[in-house]
Amino acid sequence: MRIAAQHLYQFKLHSYSWRYLSMKNFDPSKTFSKPLELTNADCERWMKCLLARADKVGLHGEVPVSAVILDQKGHCIGRGSNRRSKEYDPLGHAEIIALKQASLIKKDWRFNTCTLIVTLEPCPMCAGALVQARMGQVIFGADDPKRGALGGTIDLAKHKSSHHKMEVIRGVMREEAKEQLDKWFKQRRRPSF
């Protein structure tokens, strides 16, 4: 009986210490701050880089989509391009790959102060992951009227089940991004006789 009480006391002491340290190191500015405000020129500069990267990915047989995650200072902390075919991975979307990399660099799964920029409107899987990651802002180029989940077929950023509301900016270099995708799909579907 005495040993059980001693273990319980140590557990309570450990739990109290952990809570105290957590609160002691708690920084509300990291949790409640807003993401970086990008100018139109900044958005276009990043989108041009992403479209160039997506071109290279498209040459290797992947759907040409690329993404980048910026922290509150405007530094790239994660980037990704589609890798579904290359890695035989149904989760190999550019946004998911960028999120995984950024979470390792940030050492956190919360992205309230971050911005994701991507060439194509995120699908339901990626939009759901962005909501779960509490992404502060999403900027995308081409709309996806068939599978888009930030306004195309559904808007998970504003859906009543969404516990986190993120800012969405659509249509940055829309025509260039749409043209890149249309061209890629047209080449893939060209009959080979």
176 as an active site residue: the answer is: no
What is the torsion angle, in degrees rounded to the nearest 10, for the CA atoms of residue 144, residue 148, residue 152 and residue 155?
-160
Q: How far is CA 78 from CA 31, 53, 99, 124, 164, in A?
A: 19, 14, 6, 20, 21
> Cβ distance 123 to 151 under 8 Å?
no
Catalytic, out of 37, 95, 167, 175: 95
Which are the catalytic amino acids?
Answer: 95
